[in-house]
Amino acid sequence: MNKQETYQWLTDHQIPYEVTEHKPVFSMEDLRDVDLPYPEANAKNLFVHDRKKRHFYLILVRGEKRVDLKAFAQRQELKSLSFCSEGDLMDILGLTPGSVTPLGLLNDDERQVHFFIDAEFAGNKVAAHPMENTATVWLNADDLVQLVRDHGNEAEYVDIPVLPEE
């Protein structure tokens, strides 16, 4: 699914959204140079797997947070977590680095990725790339969770532990 197909999918499923087109961004630091209408809804995505690569997880968290993956794994009763490779990202979600998005779960044909979203987003607006890092889609987090569940992936709000500030 590409950017235009993503917009069409959201429209076809009657999910309200807004779009902000911008230069390509590959990190949260890159976003500092982009004028976004809802900075409080900025999010980053972590695509991780367990030690044996049997289970895959997408974690969406507020953009400024530094996730404590060890504490997260313990809290969710998961095995130790590691970041997925570019190959896993492409094979499972059809995405490239810098374009990771929960909307990529629509490409997860085997429904093998469990989606965890920061509980702070519940009922609020959230940002997501439309399969490409040249735009941001703004939608309600509850709609996002529901579309992921409707697709057949597990999705849940959780409290995300963060690393202490340096």
* 114 alpha carbon, distance to own chain's centre: 11
pLDDT in tens, the chain (166 residues): 899 999 999 999 999 999 999 888 777 677 677 778 898 999 999 999 998 999 999 999 998 899 999 999 999 999 899 999 999 999 999 999 889 999 999 999 999 999 999 999 999 999 999 999 999 999 999 999 999 999 999 999 999 999 987 6
- Written as one letter, the residue type at 32 is R
- Sign for the pseudo-dihedral over CA of 136, 34, 94, 47: negative
Question: Going from the N-terminus, what domains does the chain have, and what CATH number goes with each?
Answer: 3-25+38-158 (3.90.960.10)
Contacts of residue 166, Cβ cutoff 8 Å, sequence gap at least 6: none
pLDDT in the model for residue 25: 77
CA atoms within 13 A on the CB side of 132: 15
Sequence-separated (6 or more) residues with CB below 8 Å from residue 111: 151, 152, 153
Residue 44 near residue 102, CB atoms below 8 Å? no
